[in-house]
Amino acid sequence: MDTSVAPSAKTPENGITANAAPKISVKGVTKVFSSKRGEVTALKDLSLDIRDGEFLVIVGASGCGKSTLLNLVAGFDSATHGEVLLDGRPVTGITPECGMIFQQYALFPWKTVQENVEFGLKMKRMPKSEREERAAKFIELVGLNGFERTYPHHLSGGMKQRVSIARSLANDPQVMLLDEPFAALDAMTRQVLQEQLVRIYEKHRKTIIFITHSIDEALLLSSRIVVMTARPGRIAQEITNDLPHPRNADVQLSERYLELKRHIWSSVQAEVLKSMEVETGQ
Ligand SMILES: Nc1ncnc2c1ncn2[C@@H]1O[C@H](COP(=O)(O)OP(=O)(O)OP(=O)(O)O)[C@@H](O)[C@H]1O
């Protein structure tokens, strides 16, 4: 594993200590799917540690197993071999410690913004006044004040995704899992939401695992980037992202940014070419 561009896992900006016990530990995970067309090995003997407060971004060719890995961490599915540990305990099902955000917002269309954000808190039986106050705080954090009583079908895609983020944050998960959350958005909305997520990360320091196909998105957001191999997915490379915080899109103009981007691109490109060979059976 080449980490030559990466200086160290500890940065003054994020205060993450390399030798702290991992928040999440993926240990020798293999995932085989069986279908009518036979078996697909999506992940093979994949191991990965994620530290508390890290913003880990996973990139890799289409079909290399990124969503499969995230689903195992979320407890939506279980590994064929190996295990996923959260705070040292095996993940055996969905847990409130992990909040998931999908590309397709997953909002309740019959509930207002306020009711969507309050939903998890209501499930936890939080008293009404407390949950209203909490929801208002996170609606404000994502810049949606004034839209509390609006229904999702009156919101743009970017606004819907902000509701999803507010809903997840309101539940105060220790870990946020995001599967290509901004992929369906136009470029400008996407940049606004990326910068908003960076601000949220800088303020709240959640442990975040984020999947994307965009190297620019990975570099803007992450504290570490993992490139996965072509299927069956394993870790091809890990790169510590030492671009400074507070971070915004201007970071893309720096020499360091271009250096990291070139490095990640060469790794991703090699894996994309391999995945094309897998698909065409060469
Ligand atoms: N439930 C399933 N049954 C059968 N095969 C599956 C299932 N889920 C995923 N796969 C297969 O496992 C492999 C990995 O899929 P996965 O969705 O994890 O990849 P990905 O890297 O997230 O892809 P993309 O970037 O295109 O979203 C693919 O070949 C996919 O077809």
Specify if 275 maps to a domain.
yes
Task: Using pLDDT thresholds of 50, 70 and 90, give the confidence band for residue 11.
Answer: very low
pTM exceeds 0.80 for this model: yes
Are 229 and 236 contacting, i.e. CB atoms less than 8 angstroms apart? Answer: yes
Q: What's the mean pLDDT in 127-134?
A: 94
| Containing structural domain, residue 191 | 24-97+173-281
CA of 63 to the centre of ligand 1 (A): 5
Q: What is the mean pLDDT of residues 191-211?
A: 91
Predicted-complex ipTM score: 0.97
What are the pocket residues of ligand 1 if the criterion is a CB atom closer than 6 Å to any ligand atom?
A: 33, 35, 40, 42, 60, 62-68, 231
The percent of residues above 70 in pLDDT, for the chain, comes to 91
Kindly report the CATH number assigned to the domain that includes residue 89: 3.40.50.300
CA dihedral 77, 40, 24, 177 (to 10 degrees): -70
Residue 143 has pLDDT above 50, yes or no: yes
Instruction: Tell me how long the chain is.
Output: 282
In a domain, residue 122? The reply is no
pLDDT at position 281 over 80: no
pLDDT, one tens digit per residue, over 148-190 is 999 999 999 989 989 999 999 899 899 999 999 998 888 888 8
Residue 153 maps to a domain: no
Type of residue found at 18: A
Mean pLDDT, residues 209-222: 95
Residue 141 is assigned to a structural domain of this protein: no
Q: Does any domain span residue 157?
A: no
Ligand 1 centre distance from Cα of residue 162 (Å): 26
Distance (angstroms) between ligand 1 centre and the Cα of 64 equals 7
Decide if 180 is inside a domain.
yes
Distance in angstroms (rounded) separating the CA atoms of residues 67 and 70: 5
Residue 138, in any domain of the structure: no
Residue closest by Cα to atom 1 of ligand 1: 33
Cα 68 to ligand 1 centre (Å): 6
pLDDT of residue 185: 86
pLDDT band at 276 (very low <50, low <70, confident <90, very high): confident
Q: Is the pLDDT of residue 105 over 80?
A: no
In a domain, 260, yes or no: yes
Give the number of domains in the chain. 1
> Would you give the distance in Å from CA 140 to the centre of its chain?
22
> Is pLDDT above 60 for 63?
yes
The closest of 186, 117, 201, 106 to 210, measured between CA atoms, is: 201
